[in-house]
Amino acid sequence: MIRKVQVGIIGAGPAGLLLAHLLRRQGIESVIIESRSRDAIEGTIRAGVLEQWFVDLLGELGLADRLHREADVHDGISLRFNRTNHHIDVAGLTGGQRVTVYAQHEIITDLVGALTELQHEIHFEVSEVSLHDLESGRPSVKFRTKEGQDCELQCDFIAGCDGFHGPSRTSIPAAKLRCFEKVYPFGWLGILCNAPRSCSEVVYARHDHGFALASTRTPTIQRLYVQCDPHDPLSDWSDDRVWSELHQRLATDDGWTLAEGPIFQKNIVSLRSFVCETMRHGRLFLAGDAAHIVPPTGAKGLNLAAADIVVLARAFTAYYRENREDLIDGYAETCLQRIWRGERFSWYLTTMMHLDEGESDFERRIHLADLDYLMSSTAAQHALAENYVGLPLQR
């Protein structure tokens, strides 16, 4: 089956789904293909800290009703070291900007549900995806549906929103890829547990045993992380060991206590920083994790992906409505300025808060000096808060 469409979107993560919504609003037709099932993308639990402009955009699209009912809105964050908690008044330092905690899979559920109601064309559980004729005026995407039918999308443009391991970036000739990467020597062990809230905002802790983070999902479900070796077998981390490390790393001298509860999910993830500056190749445009990865410390991954999509949707709209190609030509350059700033902030917060066994004692003292300076300088706190809530995005 051959299907002609203006924009073919590979990937039904937040980036691809948001792009479909933005294009629909401008009357631009798109088709989404996704290798996973709908249940799988809606059931993969991932964190979500949303910058205010992103929340506002979802509201403008009529997609934020459940978010406003169920999300947590935080005025600040806490940094913990030397058994002392330090509150950063993010809202006060940024003129009232706040951060919204709303898990990524919940955003996906909302976006998919709205597109389904609109009868938007989405193909789940596709296989054998391949991209063709990307440097021509009519690129195409071939795939096989879950029913076994071979299909081809003939497109004006292809948006590669298929993540770090998807086929879009690998379809660009290796000689034309310009990529930069840092793989960190540590990972995160994350748990979800049934427990009451121990904190009212996200807590980042630096400890001699390594980093820890405490955050909340709902009043009864909490998300916590401890730094670990990314190659650790999960079996090495019993529930008792996880709780013991969390208690030690998050402990303070002011009487604060961590509430425990049954752990119902446990996983280990590695951390990396990655940027592919080749965000455009012919009629293929990379967005989100297909083009860049940040460690989760700075809470920038989802927001950077959404920012890419705003820029890309604006470029496609200018092409179809005004016959302009300047925004298409400037897509990568426009996105990369924000991406590298997000990468810098994520690297800064990650290296400052984590224990790196490969670092010297001198470097560790420097990180503690960074934290000491941050707590004593309003200007330093303002810079951190400004980056945390998100730099302005022209929409």
Residues belonging to the active site: 74, 204, 296, 300, 388
Q: Read off the tokens for 377.
A: 């300088």
- State residue 76 phi and psi, 5-degree precision: -165, -175
Beta bridge partners of 155: 5
- The answer to whether the beta carbons of residues 272 and 184 sit under 8 Å apart is yes
Q: Read off the tokens for 292.
A: 């860049």
Question: What kind and span of H or E run contains 91?
Answer: helix 90-93
Beta strands in the chain (DSSP E): 2-10, 30-33, 49-50, 72-74, 77-81, 84-88, 99-101, 122-123, 127-132, 140-144, 150-160, 179-194, 203-205, 212-216, 221-228, 263-276, 280-281, 284-286, 292-293
Q: DSSP letters along 135-197, please?
A: TSSS-EEEEE-TTS-EEEEEEEEEEE-S-TTSHHHHTS-GGG--EEEEEEEEEEEEEEEE---
- State residue 171 phi and psi, 5-degree precision: -80, -10
- State residue 379 phi and psi, 5-degree precision: -65, -40
Query: What SS3 class is residue 76?
Result: coil
d(CA 1, CA 63): 33
The gap from C-alpha 351 to its chain's centroid, in whole angstroms, comes to 19
d(CA 342, CA 227): 21
Taking phi over 0 as left and psi of -120 to 50 as alpha, with beta for the rest, 11 belongs to left
